[in-house]
Amino acid sequence: MQFLKILFWIVLTVLVVLFADANWVSVEVKLWGGLIADAKLPILLFMVFLLGLLPTLIIYRAKMWALRRRIEPLERNAATPVAIPATPVPPEEARLATDTKVWPPA
């Protein structure tokens, strides 16, 4: 399975490098106030990808952190053994349990 993961990442890396090499052109990005920025297309695409990924990743990590904070005390409480006090047996039940008479009476 580890081999397939490594193979997948190698193939993905090769495809990204081939795409970047084929599309290494300058692109003009018009900004506010008449500013124009020149950027290479693969770098611009990578920046836009990160712009979309980072907020989602931050929200995901924050939710996992909050859930972990809620679950850890429950796991700690479940791991500690709870001593259950023994209930005393009423005297009548104790006598019946040790009775040697045959049941039902003849």
pTM of the model: 0.59
> Given this model, what pLDDT does residue 39 score?
92
For 28, list phi and psi in degrees, rounded to 5. Answer: -90, 125
Q: Judge whether residue 96 has pLDDT over 70.
A: no
Instruction: Tokens for 86, please give them.
Output: 């023994």
Q: Judge whether residue 4 has pLDDT over 60.
A: yes
- The amino acid at residue 104 is P
35-89 residue pLDDT tens: 999 999 999 999 999 999 999 999 999 999 999 999 998 888 887 777 777 776 5
